[in-house]
A and B are shown apart, each in its own frame.
Chain A
Amino acid sequence: MEQIAFTLISLFTLACAVGVVLCKNAVNGAMCLLLCLAGIAGLFIQLHAYLLAFLLVWVYAGAVVALFLFIIMLLDMQGGKPLRIRGLQGAAGVVSAALLIVGLNLLAVRGKLASVAAPGHGVGSRLELYSDQLLTTYMLPVQVMGFLLLIAMLGVIVLSRRTDAAPSK
């Protein structure tokens, strides 16, 4: 049962990921990304990482994809150019992506990952373990992350400020 669900969700996720690459309209691409994220959240639930599945839907599907859609709307990119694959460049892209797939899958096969037994209990389902780790072992990264968010906010404010002094081109 779990295997069937995994197969269905992974096929759905892969199809949506291909959709992100191939859709010529950026809005459709963003929608495919949304569905792909939903599929990955389903996989997280299968791995008992319920909090992460929730956060993924919240942060990515809620905030990031909405931001993408806003920017697409702002830049008025309806329609868009169709995907043109130029000979050498396209071939190089396909070859390097295939090499990447083969290499990473060899890692999974040669590392004998198939024989790793799944633990019976779900570790990721306990919220208190997250808070415990975040406030003890990962205290410094949490503070660095807060600082990073502050800097990102300031950076976005500076970037999006309209500079009237600059000569308009």
Chain B
Amino acid sequence: MTPALNAYVMLSASLFAIGFLGVLLRRNTLVIYMCLELMLISATLALVAFSHFNGTEDGDVFVFFILTVAAAEVAVGLAIIVALFRARQTVQVDELDSLKH
């Protein structure tokens, strides 16, 4: 007996929501970024599951692209965080309040 499609979709939705919760609750920019990656990965899980149950390859190919974009995104994002740390000596979002009036 193989697990049904809705089990994968529910798991993916739960992982997405956990990542979302992390983005909202945490104050450390790096941890927020890790939670963002978690959300991205949960979306790929849904894509792979739908692609498998549909019997086609297209979802898998899209996951391939998502992995590429995520790698580029992580490199740029972490460079921005390092630049931010150089300028401000902190990565806590509470202390980055220059745009607050």
A interface with B by C-beta (< 8 Å): 2-3, 6-7, 10, 13-14, 17-18, 20-21, 26, 29-30, 33, 36-37, 40, 43-44, 46-49, 51-52, 55-56, 59-60, 63-64, 67-68, 71-72, 74-75, 77, 80-81, 83-85, 89-90, 92-94, 96-98, 100-101, 104-105, 107-109, 111, 113-114, 116-119, 122-124, 129-130, 133-134, 137-138, 141, 145, 148-149, 152-153, 155-156, 159-160, 169
Contact = CB atoms under 8 A, between A and B. Distances in A.
A60 B67 contact: yes
Contacts of A55: 64, 67
Given A21-B22, A21-B25, A118-B52, A134 B61 contact: yes
Interface string B1-28: 1111111111111111111111011111
Given A3-B1, A152-B72, A20 B35 contact: yes
Interface residues of B, number: 71
Contacts of B11: 10, 13-14, 43
Contacts of A18: 18
Contact of B15 (A17, A46, A153): A17
A96 B24 contact: yes
A17 B41 CA distance: 11
Contact of B70 (A36, A64, A74, A92): A64
B4 A113 contact: yes
B83 A17 contact: no
Interface of B: 1-22, 24-28, 30-31, 33-35, 37-38, 41, 44-45, 48-49, 51-53, 55-58, 60-61, 63-65, 67-76, 78-83, 85, 87, 91-92
Which has the most chain A C-beta neighbours within 10 Å: B1, B5, B22, B34?
B34
A155 B79 CA distance: 9
Listed from nearest, the 3 A-B pairs whose CB atoms lie closest are A104-B13, A93-B24, A152-B72
B30 A71 contact: yes
Given A49-B60, A101-B13, A152-B76, A6 B3 contact: yes
A43 B30 contact: no
Given A44-B48, A108-B13, A116-B53, A37 B41 contact: yes
Contacts of B7: 6, 10
